[in-house]
């Protein structure tokens, strides 16, 4: 009975949503028992969170597992959300905490993470197709350099630069997610940009 209701939910996940609600309205509806609102929230945030988490873990499968856990927490702990905070801040904070937990586990165990599914079963979307192969290679090179430069940043710089310059969140949201005063966030972002510039100065 329960299983069948979830499978019907899974079907509705793939449909294009007709919701025009804000995130806060959606979580409100979900708290009131409307599971379509949950589906909409998952669709809105799964890719954003994947990009966020991937920058920390550097592993696609692990990042996706963390996003799965985040969405599961959202489902199970929906009543813990209070409208005093923005929904995006709340969900990013959950994802950040889970990513940190995963990093700590990784450091403790120092073993290779085995995902529940084999690699063959995963089908990832291929990034935008390039018309020109040379241009494509050049872009790929630049992206690799940028990723490498980001990975060299200290953790507290890395997080804020990802949230600001890749995820394009506001300073206030970043301050809430990281749990650090606004002034410190601004300073960290500025320092992170300077460090990135120093690392990428040969990249024109």
Return residues touching another protein (CB under 8 A). 2-3, 6-7, 9-10, 13-14, 33, 42-43, 46-47, 50-51, 54, 60, 63-64, 67-68, 71-72, 75-77, 79-80, 82, 117, 121-125, 127-128, 142-143, 146, 161, 165-166, 168, 186-187, 189-190, 193-194, 196-197, 200-201
Of residues 22 and 197, the one with the C-beta less far from another protein: 197
Of residues 117 and 137, the one with the C-beta less far from another protein: 117
Rounded distance between C-alpha atoms, residue 4 and residue 68, angstroms:
20
CB 173 within 8 A of CB 88: yes
Minimum CB separation from another protein for residue 110, in Å? Answer: 26
CB 139 within 8 A of CB 130: yes
Minimum CB separation from another protein for residue 135, in Å? Answer: 13
Minimum CB separation from another protein for residue 20, in Å? Answer: 21
Instruction: From residue 84, give the alpha-carbon distance in Å to each of 89, 90, 130.
Output: 11, 10, 43
Minimum CB separation from another protein for residue 147, in Å? Answer: 8
Of residues 2 and 110, the one with the C-beta less far from another protein: 2
CB 66 within 8 A of CB 98: yes
Instruction: From residue 166, give the alpha-carbon distance in Å to each of 11, 149, 158, 173.
Output: 31, 14, 11, 14
Rounded distance between C-alpha atoms, residue 158 and residue 142, angstroms:
18
Of residues 108 and 121, the one with the C-beta less far from another protein: 121
Q: What is the number of other CB atoms lying within 10 angstroms of the CB of residue 66?
A: 28
CB 52 within 8 A of CB 167: yes
Of residues 108 and 204, the one with the C-beta less far from another protein: 204
> DSSP character for 17?
P
Minimum CB separation from another protein for residue 142, in Å? Answer: 7
**CA proximity to 35, closest of 55, 19, 47:** 19
Minimum CB separation from another protein for residue 50, in Å? Answer: 5
Of residues 26 and 50, the one with the C-beta less far from another protein: 50
């Amino acid at each position: 009975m329960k299983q069948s209701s979830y499978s019907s939910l899974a079907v509705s996940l793939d449909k294009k949503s007709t919701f025009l609600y804000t995130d806060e309205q959606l979580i409100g509806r979900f708290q009131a028992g409307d599971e379509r609102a949950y589906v909409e929230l998952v669709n809105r945030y799964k890719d954003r969170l994947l990009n966020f988490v991937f920058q920390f873990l550097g592993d696609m499968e692990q990042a996706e597992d963390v996003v799965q856990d985040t969405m599961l927490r959202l489902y199970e702990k929906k009543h813990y959300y209070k409208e005093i905070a923005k929904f995006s801040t709340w969900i990013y904070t959950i994802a950040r905490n889970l990513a940190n937990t995963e990093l700590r586990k990784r450091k403790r165990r120092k073993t290779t993470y085995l995902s529940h599914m084999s690699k063959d079963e995963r089908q990832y979307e291929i990034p935008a197709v390039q018309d020109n192969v040379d241009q494509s290679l050049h872009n790929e090179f630049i992206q690799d350099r940028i990723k490498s430069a980001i990975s060299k940043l200290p953790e507290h710089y890395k997080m804020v630069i990802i949230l600001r310059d890749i995820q394009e969140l506001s300073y206030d949201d970043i301050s809430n997610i990281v749990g650090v005063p606004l002034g410190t966030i601004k300073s960290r972002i500025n320092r992170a940009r300077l460090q990135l510039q120093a690392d990428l100065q040969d990249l024109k």
